[in-house]
Structure 1
């Protein structure tokens, strides 16, 4: 029996594959490589000493995906595949709705057909919309403000309806906050194309000289220093949260949502300061206008995940910064070339 990991070649997916393999699970990976790279999976095999099957297919291709279910005895699914750029989703909403929702429908239809009714779904804190009541618990009102977040919310609702239709379904909806960091080996990390959408790869690319300066969007929020506050979580902690959620869905039925965050908020300037302190690298920045839809403060209440999954984030902000910098220095061109001695980490 194997765990099917959709989107397993991506940033969160590759780290989750490492944790699954190290925990003794058999895995099968599907990923269309639209915003990921197969090199990450080669490195997963190298890091774990384990082999697994990989299929470069799109979830929208029902025939190809069904061949995976026919060839393997799938026990449960960790569903991470999907388009993920908030800004792009605003300008290309139909692409996001078609890809994320239709792909999830095809996946769930095949799961139902092959009697695989255990799934861990990669959702997002964007389902909470503009709520500035912090910390954010799972029972606050939901209301995404962009196409990306709405696809996550719609898929959550679809999965709740699945359980209503058949109580045998066991579903964990994992609402991520802001994953950063990288594998401590420097072999796996976030590999954005162009100017990064997320803060930490933006910081590291400025620090390594790939970009001239960091753009900070707004310094007039009602926060300690005026810049936006977010809950940053190490990607390895996030990956381990998937294992805990998998254990839960394998042992029970039902549908539950869980925040995966640290419960601690850091501002953009605090993140820049922490990075400079632990790496010794300077990060020049420029304050620009707020981005539409951004809110001042957002961090999680992760107590439900601790209570029901036995999961708590272990890694602090210094480790997040150091691991991010190690990844950047060893992989200045992302997964293209690995430079183990490219430059000192600190």
Structure 2
């Protein structure tokens, strides 16, 4: 019998690499495609070091449908785990067409090729941004979606709707849509972690870059929110907990689940300043910060109700805030320039 593979799109990225590690350790065969716009193949080499397994990887853009077809011809794919996409909230507000073309267009191509090759199982990397400004807290899966505050969130919402329609049209399809809250941290080994290109869009990589000396000071956007300390409150989830949620979703697909949705979060909200203090405590590094005006599209508070994932996937987070900070710092201090070699001083 020929080997069956899980195709991981965007598998060289931050969440993708951690998911690949967990899949390999759970005994699945994986093939990675990534266009490397926001990633490097160095990360796959690190995954191979961690797992001791080879990972077939291909530089493929989902907008290139013929290249996607070649992967399906070359490997017997049983399921697709779909992470590929642009993900900078601020950039998406400036460049909405790029985000719709890449994220929605790439996904439609992927689904068409899956259909052509009768691969009807998908786990999709969605986002809590589909909920928009929460109408109630904690946010559960029944919370209304679609009132997204930026184009990035809207691409996730539209892709969810497309996947739903595909499943409704053909009952052989199974989809697990996973809505992430804020992934942070890194693998315990310190070999893989978040490696943003340019200025980080997310809080914790920025904090880590200040700690390691790459940036002078953290900018805290908004100190006048209706929260305990005035800064935005979010649900931060350890990246390895998040990745293990995907392995749990693999088992759900095998039950022929149709189209189902789960939040992946901890159910606990921490403010920006809580996170800065926790990082300082875990690392002994001082993080200087300055307060700036709120960013457009940001909301005061959002955190998950993760009960459904626990009940139906048997999954819940186990890693603490302290562990998130320690693991992030191990990755950043071991790799001050991410996957890139240190710049020469000449």
Does the TM-score normalized on the shorter chain lie above 0.5? yes
Are residues 1:243 and 2:260 paired? no
TM-score, normalised via structure 2 length:
0.96
- 8 Å contact 1:132–1:297 — kept in the other structure? no
The residue correspondences of 1:47-66 to structure 2 (distance < 5 A) are 47-66=50-69
Cα drift, residue 52 of structure 1: 2.3
1:35 to 38, 45, 53: 38
Q: Distance in 2 between matches of 1:230 and 1:132?
A: 15
Are residues 1:104 and 2:101 paired? no
Q: Distance in 2 between matches of 1:78 and 1:251?
A: 17
1:69 to 57, 72, 76: 72
Are residues 1:276 and 2:311 paired? no
The residue correspondences of 1:258-269 to structure 2 (distance < 5 A) are 258-269=262-273
Identify the residue that residue 25 of structure 2 maps to in structure 1: 22
Identify the residue that residue 175 of structure 2 maps to in structure 1: 171
Are residues 1:325 and 2:300 paired? no
Are residues 1:294 and 2:284 paired? no
Cα drift, residue 337 of structure 1: 3.5
Are residues 1:185 and 2:189 paired? yes
Identify the residue that residue 126 of structure 1 maps to in structure 2: 129
Cα drift, residue 256 of structure 1: 0.9
Cα drift, residue 132 of structure 1: 4.9
- 8 Å contact 1:233–1:262 — kept in the other structure? yes
Cα drift, residue 208 of structure 1: 1.2
Identify the residue that residue 87 of structure 2 maps to in structure 1: 84
Identify the residue that residue 342 of structure 1 maps to in structure 2: none
- Deviant stretches of 4+, over 4 Å: none
Identify the residue that residue 113 of structure 1 maps to in structure 2: 116
Q: Distance in 1 between matches of 2:257 and 2:67?
A: 29
Cα drift, residue 86 of structure 1: 0.5
Alignment RMSD, CA only?
A: 0.9
Identify the residue that residue 212 of structure 2 maps to in structure 1: 208
Q: Distance in 2 between matches of 1:250 and 1:35?
A: 31
- 8 Å contact 1:275–1:318 — kept in the other structure? yes
Q: Distance in 1 between matches of 2:152 and 2:232?
A: 20
- 8 Å contact 1:173–1:258 — kept in the other structure? yes
Q: Distance in 1 between matches of 2:226 and 2:55?
A: 49
Cα drift, residue 318 of structure 1: 0.1
Q: Distance in 2 between matches of 1:76 and 1:104?
A: 14
Flag structure 1 segments of 5+ consecutive residues without an equivalent. 339-346
Are residues 1:256 and 2:263 paired? no
